[in-house]
Amino acid sequence: MRRSFWNLVLFLFVLILIQKGVAGDIDDNNIEDKTDLAEWDKYKSKYPLPMPMLVMQHGYPVETHTVTTDDGYILTLHRIPYSDKSNKTEVTRPVVFLQHGLLCSSVDWVIMGPAYMLSDAGYDVWLGNARGNVYSSKHKTLKTSSSKYWAFSWHEMGVYDLPAVIDYILENAEEPDLYYVGHSMGTTMFYVLTSIKPQYNTKIRHMVALAPVAYLRNTKSLFAAATRYMPKGMITELLYNRPFFPNSKYVNWPLRTLCKTGAVTQGLCTNILFQIGGFNSNQINQTMLPIIFSYFPAGSSLKSWAHYGQLIRSGKFRQYDFGIVRNLIKYGNTKPPEYNFVHINSSVTLIVGPNDWLASLEDAGILYNSLPNPTEYYLVHHPEFNHFDFLWAIDVKTLVNNKVLEVLNHNFHNLNLVN
C-alpha cells in the first residue's frame, strides 16, 4: 500500500522531470569553475558544493583537467594526485581511473566511495565525467540546446570519451597503463572501448567492474522495464537526442528538499533508488539522501537509456539500433553488430550485488563466461545489496571498497614481483 502510493507520486514526479528534460533545459551556471569556499556561501542554499571544493573540504589536494574528444566534446576530469596520509617517499604511484555510471558523476566516488581510500593507499586517483553530465556538458561547436549535441549513447562514451581520457591521463602521469574501476555504465563503456578499439587493452592493467552491465536479459528494474514500451525505428532520432535528467535547479533542488531529514516525503527518495536498483537493502542512510540527491541525477542523454532499452529487448550486447534503413547505411546490415568480446583480453574482476535489479546475478554470470580473461566473480557478502549500494551503502567500505583495494594491491604487487 505504502509502496504503491510512492510509486504513483514517483510516476507523476518523473512526468514533470521528463518535461523539463525534454525542453533541453540544462543549467549553465558553471558551478564546476568555482573554487573559493567563502564565495560559495551565497550559493549554498541553492547548489551543493562543487566536486573540487568537496574534495578540498576533506583535506585532499584536487586538480581539474579538461580533455577534448575527437568528436569535439569537452570533458572534465578530476584528480586526487596524492594523499597526505600516504607515503610521500613512494616512487611508483599507480594510476587508478574511476568511471561513474548512468546519471552519475565524479562526485559519486567521493561521497562514500573508494576515492580517498585509494588515495591513502598510494594510488594516483583520476575521476572521469562522461559526456552530457553536469561537469562535461560543453562542446567545441555544439550547444546543449541543440539535439545534435545529445545524439550519443554510452557507445560514443566508450569509443570517443575513454580513449581521449585514458591517453590524456597516461601522458600526464607518465605511466604506460592504469587500473580501471567502473560502476554500471562505467563498465559498459569499458567493454565498448576494449572490443571496438582492442589496442586499449594494453593500457588497462586490470579492470574492476562494480555492478557490471553488458547483457540485460534478466534485469528486474522498473526503470529498465519502462524502456520496453519505448518507440523504436526512425522516429527515435527525434525523440531520443535529448537530455535525460539533467542536473539542474528544476530536478535536484526539489529532490534535495523532499529528501530532507524529517520530511514526510523521504519515502519518495528511497523509493526512487529502490525502483531503479533493488528493494530494501537497509543500507541507505536517510541523513545522506539530501546530499546524494544534490548530485544525483547528474544528467546524460535519453539515447543512453534508449540504448539500454534495446539491450533488454534483444537480449544481446550490441550497437545502437537505428531501424532497418539507417542500420543498412551505417552497418551494412539490417541489424546492429554485436560487441565482440573476443578482443577484450584485459583481466577483469566482476563485483556483483545479490539484490541488484539492474545488473542481475544471471546477466553478470553470462558476462563472466563471455569474457576471454576473467579473474574473479565476486558476490558482495550481503543478500540485499543493490545497484546503488555500490555508491552509497552504509557499509560500502567493508562490503565493497576494501575488496576493490585488495584486488588492485594484489595485482600491483604480483606484477611488480614478476618485473
Ligand X SMILES: *[C@@H]1O[C@H](CO)[C@@H](O)[C@H](O)[C@H]1NC(C)=O
Choosing from 345, 368, 379, 384, the residue that interacts with ligand X (CB under 6 A) is 345
The DSSP annotation for 346-409 comes to S-EEEEE-TT-SSS-HHHHHHHHHH-SSEEEEEE-S-TT--TTHHHH-TTHIIIIIHHHHHHHH
* Sign of the torsion angle spanned by Cα atoms 400, 352, 199, 149: negative
Q: SS3 for 44?
A: coil
Q: Give min distance, CB of 118 to ligand X, in A.
A: 13
Region of residue 301 (phi > 0: left; psi between -120 and 50: alpha; otherwise: beta): beta
Applying CB under 6 A, which part among 29-37, 74-82, 141-149, 199-207 lies near ligand X? Answer: 199-207
With beta carbons less than 8 A apart as the criterion, state whether 114 and 398 touch: no
Interface with ligand X, residue 196, by CB under 6 A: no
Identify which of 305, 318, 357, 391 has the alpha carbon closest to the alpha carbon of residue 102: 305
Q: Sketch the per residue contact string, 55 through 74, with ligand X: x for CB under 6 A, - otherwise.
A: --------------------
Positions marked catalytic: 184, 356, 387
Interface with ligand X, residue 199, by CB under 6 A: yes
Q: Sketch the per residue contact string, 265 through 284, with ligand X: x for CB under 6 A, - otherwise.
A: --------------------
Q: Which is nearer to ligand X, 87 or 402 (CB)?
A: 87
Interface with ligand X, residue 416, by CB under 6 A: no
Among positions 75-134, residues that touch ligand X (CB under 6 A) are 86-87
Residue with cell 562522461: 130
| CB neighbour class for 14 (10 Å; exposed up to 12, middle 13-18, buried from 19) | middle
Identify which of 17, 114, 105, 5 has the alpha carbon closest to the alpha carbon of residue 64: 105
Q: Which is nearer to ligand X, 75 or 118 (CB)?
A: 118
With beta carbons less than 8 A apart as the criterion, state whether 123 and 83 touch: no
Q: SS3 for 134?
A: coil
Q: Which is nearer to ligand X, 66 or 87 (CB)?
A: 87
Choosing from 57, 257, 287, 402, the residue that interacts with ligand X (CB under 6 A) is 287
Number of amino acids touching ligand X (CB under 6 A): 11
Among positions 376-405, residues that touch ligand X (CB under 6 A) are 394
Q: Sketch the per residue contact string, 208 through 247, with ligand X: x for CB under 6 A, - otherwise.
A: ----------------------------------------
Choosing from 24, 61, 81, 198, the residue that interacts with ligand X (CB under 6 A) is 198
Choosing from 285, 334, 398, 402, the residue that interacts with ligand X (CB under 6 A) is 285
The DSSP annotation for 166-205 comes to HHHHHHHHT-S-EEEEEETHHHHHHHHHHHHSGGGGGGEE
Q: Give min distance, CB of 310 to ligand X, in A.
A: 27
Interface with ligand X, residue 202, by CB under 6 A: yes
Rounded Cα distance, 378 and 261, in Å: 34
Q: Which is nearer to ligand X, 69 or 201 (CB)?
A: 201
Opening angle at CA 221, ends 219 and 227, nearest 5 = 85
Q: Give min distance, CB of 175 to ligand X, in A.
A: 17
Interface with ligand X, residue 288, by CB under 6 A: yes
Q: Give min distance, CB of 318 to ligand X, in A.
A: 21
Residues that bind ligand X (CB under 6 A): 86-87, 198-199, 201-202, 285, 287-288, 345, 394
